[in-house]
Amino acid sequence: MTYYTGEGDEVTQQEIEQAVKEHRAVLRWSHGWGYNAASLMIYPTPDEAEDEAGRDTRGECYSMSDEVWSELADSMRDARRAAAGLLKQG
């Protein structure tokens, strides 16, 4: 399986697992067609990841499709699913 960050960079399963362990992996959620989807963001430091995890633009954007909200990835399974484009809600 091929994994990508939300910025389009290819990552390995080992890189994802290391980022989750080091608290550098973030799930960035956005609206899809009838569901919410997550992409995986990997940051150089836990502080940068924590800053991103506090991001929530819901209700602040002109269009609902521009809204994003984030959370630290605490599950390796969810992080891998997000990097594969398979983590969805709703």
Q: What is the pLDDT of residue 44?
A: 97
Q: What is the pTM of this model?
A: 0.89
Task: Name the more confident of 86 and 56.
Answer: 86
Average of per-residue pLDDT across 73-81: 97
Residue 75: per-residue pLDDT: 96
Alpha carbons within 13 A on the beta-carbon side of 73: 31
pLDDT value of residue 6: 94
Which pLDDT tens digit goes with each residue over 28-72? 999 877 899 999 999 999 999 999 999 888 888 777 777 889 999
* Number of neighbouring beta carbons within 10 Å of residue 75: 13
- Measured distance CA(47)–CA(26) in Å, rounded: 11
